[in-house]
Structure 1
């Protein structure tokens, strides 16, 4: 994974530790010290590096969120590329920082507050971004497909069986109510249609009730 490491000069020591930890985990890291050449156009090189990155690690400190710092310029480039930081931007608190001074873009995701070794915890968090990339589509296995077919067939069987039972019930009720009226083919078809309508309506009501219950549980 190609990572852009954004930090203030005051945090260069911990940034370097994170850089080596990420490189040791087979990540490509844009770290301005080894990545920028003396003759490079600084702004253009930073913009290109962010555009080429798969993710950005932003080290939060009072210095990095201070107005006028290049870290905020780098964050602006990141926001332009990823309108939402989820699964793309990893904010890491490396020094106690006033929460009000932290950009809202960073606070849109969970801020990583390392409790032990910062470099190790940042590397683990970046590896999780690789394991769960944004918009990842999980390809269903053969067992998943087989299970899906069984569920569809089971649902169809339930609908058919329920319709038959209800149709027979309607026919029986009609015979008791109107014993002198014969049940014709058209009348039987009407019973079947009515039973299907009852079954599908009941299924929709049950599904709606289930959704309401799930929402209450989530709350």
Structure 2
């Protein structure tokens, strides 16, 4: 029996180039067996022309370039398009440069964060005497709204008590990252986020070091 052909995934060439540049590797080396993924350079370049890629090749590229597969699929481009509506060109360029930096989306993060988040939600429910059955009986839309409300509340409390994250970045740039992940986690199209959650008078996206008081 012939193997069932895998459905191809979207492939965003610009994100691929950004990840490749960060990994300091050429397309030729990526196509090698020794230092690359074992699929030819021609196969990788074909993905540019097609705008889609075999899922096995996507996974191999993501692992080798140390970025989430979703990053190479352009999922975050789609998500941030909602946020930058109304920005002028300079604001758009600066914001996307920060938020679509491949360093923000390491390969391990997707899988590990999913497991961590599942335990996190289980803990919240258990500590507040809510059963998993009650949670599972909520509609998918209601569960998503519940998760977003939890993250907004947690983010507001963290922002109240901490000025910097553990790396010393003022404004805690990744504070609302998890919320944004929940917002865009849809098999079809993500909901438009509330801009007020992502922007405030605080310089949330800067990387200036906090001064010791």
Higher normalized strand content (fraction of residues): 1
TM-score higher than 0.5 here? no
Query: What TM bracket, shorter-length normalisation?
Result: under 0.3
TM-score by length of 2: 0.26
